[in-house]
Amino acid sequence: MLSQFTVDTQGSGDKEGDEEHAPWDVVKWSKLKKVTTQSFSEAGKRTFGRPVCLTVGALIAIGTSKGLVLLFDYQQTLKSIIGQGTAGKF
């Protein structure tokens, strides 16, 4: 399957009925201010370790250098912490 992306550098791509879309139009970019405050702060780094990976699915999951996974919902509320020494709920 071949796909083609074009970028409008002349500013004329905002016409109504325009069928071409820039590649970033399919993703809504949001600043994760609450996630950043909790996981990237100095206190967060001491408690959880440095964030080393991120994935987004049903939740926002951030893996840390201490082997923990921080799970946030889309309102950026910390829902759960997964890792050694954490207790699960059923």
Q: Domain segments of the chain: what residues? A: 31-82
The 3-class secondary structure across the chain, one letter per residue, is CCCCCCCCCCCCCCCCCCCCCCHHHHCCCCCCHHHHHHHCCHHHHHHHCCEEEEEECCCEEEEECCCCEEEECCCCCEEEEECCCCCCCC
Q: 11: which 2 tokens?
A: 């500013």
Question: What pLDDT tens digit does each residue of the chain (90 aa) get?
Answer: 444 444 444 444 444 544 566 666 676 777 888 888 887 888 888 888 998 999 989 999 999 999 999 999 999 999 999 988 777 654
Predicted confidence at residue 8, as pLDDT, reads 43
Predicted confidence at residue 35, as pLDDT, reads 87
Predicted confidence at residue 20, as pLDDT, reads 63
Rounded Cα distance, 78 and 70, in Å: 7
Per the listing, tokens 């250098």 go with: 65
Per the listing, tokens 């840390």 go with: 64
Predicted confidence at residue 75, as pLDDT, reads 92
